[in-house]
Amino acid sequence: MAQAVVIGGGPAGLMAAGELVAAGHDVLVAEAKPSVARKLLMAGKSGLNLTKDESLETFLLSYGPGAEWLRPMLAEFDATAVQDWARDLGQEVFTGSTGRVFPKAMKASPLLRAWLGRLDAAGVHIKTRWRWTGWNGDALEFDTPKGHRQIEADTTILAMGGASWARLGSDGAWARLLQEAGVDLSPFAPANSALSVDWSAHMQPHFGAAIKSVGWTAGGVISRGEATISSKGLEGGGLYSLTPALREGAPLSVDLVPDLDVTTLQQKIAAKKSKTTQSQWMKKSLHLSPQKIALYHEMNRGSGLSVETLKSLPLSHAGLRPMDEAISTVGGVRQGALDEGLMLKSRPGMFCAGEMLDWEAPTGGYLLTACLATGRWAGRSAANWLARTA
């Protein structure tokens, strides 16, 4: 029986641990925080989106440049497999109107309890408040509640997340350790990020309200999701898929009437009575919400009413919010630093998984599915490596 150490107790790490213990190895999960899967629990507070019920080819479109790298891992653990996995843990799932899949309990906690119970019964040992600090020779070093510890591992899975939501555990501190060890990393950048907007005072009554039924465009990418007006700017699923384009400086615009064609809109504008104010007309003729009308006036000061301003309203903003506020990050361990089994080429026996890898995906189940799939892949690869080297 080999000693396997998984560093990081999020979805990728727990998935890897399950594969290694199933292969008959002694598995220790070292988690720096007081409890595991804190980001998963936070994400599940508003409804845990497990995956998106799509074919593999459609699913892969959401991973951009990382799609081909992730293809074999997602092919082995796709949207259907995620649903079967949840059901096997006693959590029934349902598919919403947009194809997003949720557990019927909606929250993450019942799923996590069942998952941890299964891992415990299989013999996985989980240690919390164990922070990895590097190596002493080949031994792993940890700061623990009982002081400094060293562990000689036969194989190690690194699954410590990206560099967002540091309070939940993903602080990216591991990057320095890997860089010092000669591992090739991409710099971190925000993914699935909100936007900073310096609102005028008249937007304050709308803080906390959502802008719905619009079409956001940046860099040729169009999103029909909603976004919420906050005191800091705009946030929500409608914008998150545009983060790659916005990171590159692409201008952002919004179609306030995406279901209205240009000809019909032109006719409505032509029929507007001169005594009717723009706000009155937009409310009565276009049935725009107060939030849409407020956004229109905020971003269209001094310009006249036109098809262009309603169908492609430019949005001025101050850039993406700070990285630690982003739902996820891009950057981390490059594909070239790993073999096909996600083992570091520079450190045989050490594998990487989850958001540590240099890929990104929008919210909507894509993030979680890839974390589960890469964790599973790394765990199986590590087990196979142990079998070959025994």
In a domain, 350, yes or no: yes
Question: What's the residue count for the chain?
Answer: 390
Residue 320 lies in a domain: no
In a domain, 372, yes or no: yes
pLDDT at 43 over 90: no
Q: Which pLDDT does position 64 carry in this prediction?
A: 94
Q: Please report, for residues 105, 220, 251, 298, the alpha-carbon distance to residue 217 in angstroms, rounded to integers and kept in the order given.
A: 34, 6, 8, 18
Considering the domain architecture, whether residues 184 and 260 belong to the same structural domain is answered as no
Domain around 230: 195-314
CATH, residue 183: 3.50.50.60
**What phi and psi, each to the nearest 5 degrees, are found at residue 255?**
-95, 110
The helix/strand/coil state of 131 is strand
Q: What is the mean pLDDT of the chain?
A: 96
pLDDT of residue 65: 96
Query: Are 102 and 180 in a shared domain?
Result: yes
Do 128 and 109 share a structural domain?
A: yes
Shared domain check, 110 and 31: yes
What digits encode the pLDDT tens for the residues 192-222? 999 999 999 999 999 999 999 999 999 999 9
Mark which of 255, 282, 314 sits at the end of a domain: 314
Q: CB of 289 within 8 A of CB of 279?
A: no
Q: Are residues 298 and 338 in the same domain?
A: no
The pLDDT of residue 105 = 94
Mean pLDDT, range 119-148, rounded to an integer: 97
64, 104: one domain: yes
Give a yes or no: residue 54 inside a domain: yes
For 377-390, how does the pLDDT look when each residue is reduced to its tens digit (9 = 90+)? Answer: 999 999 999 999 98
Would 21 be classed as within a structural domain? yes
Section 129-149 average pLDDT: 97
Cα–Cα dist 249/241, whole Å: 14
DSSP state, 357?
A: B
One domain, residues 33 and 171: yes
**246 and 226, same domain (yes or no):** yes
| In-domain check, residue 323 | no
User: 20 and 162 share a domain?
Assistant: yes
Share above pLDDT 90 across residues of the chain, in percent, rounded to a whole number: 97
Q: What is the mean pLDDT of residues 229-249?
A: 96
Q: Which residue intervals of the chain are DSSP H helices?
A: 11-22, 38-43, 56-60, 67-76, 79-88, 109-122, 174-180, 237-240, 243-247, 262-270, 278-284, 290-299, 307-311, 366-389
44: confidence class by pLDDT, cuts 50, 70, 90:
confident
| pLDDT band per the 50, 70, 90 thresholds, residue 272 | very high
pLDDT at residue 303, as a whole number = 75
Among residues 105, 102, 169, the alpha carbon closest in space to that of 365 is found at: 102
Check residue 91 and give its pLDDT: 97
Other beta carbons less than 10 A from residue 67's beta carbon: 16
Confidence band (pLDDT; 50, 70, 90) for 254?
A: very high
Q: What is the DSSP string of 73-102?
A: HHHHS-HHHHHHHHHHTT--EEE-TTSEEE
Asked, for residue 326, whether it belongs to a domain, the answer is no
| DSSP assignment of 304-319 | PP-HHHHHSEE-----
pTM: 0.95
235 within domain boundaries: yes
Burial 12-35 (b: 16+ CB within 10 A, else e): bbbbbbbbbbebebbbbbbbbbee
What would the mean pLDDT of 345-350 be, rounded to a whole number?
Answer: 97
pLDDT value at position 163? Answer: 96
Both 291 and 227 in one domain: the answer is yes
Task: State how far the Cα of 14 lies from the Cα of 6, in Å rounded to an integer.
Answer: 8
Please indicate, yes or no, whether residues 183 and 123 belong to a single structural domain of this protein. yes
Q: Which of 314, 344, 372 is the last residue of a domain?
A: 314
Q: What is the pLDDT of residues 292-337, one digit of tens each?
A: 999 999 999 777 899 999 999 999 999 999 999 999 999 999 999 9
pLDDT of residue 266: 96
The number of distinct structural domains making up the chain is 2
Q: Are 172 and 222 within one domain?
A: no
Which of 251, 282, 314 is a domain's end point? 314
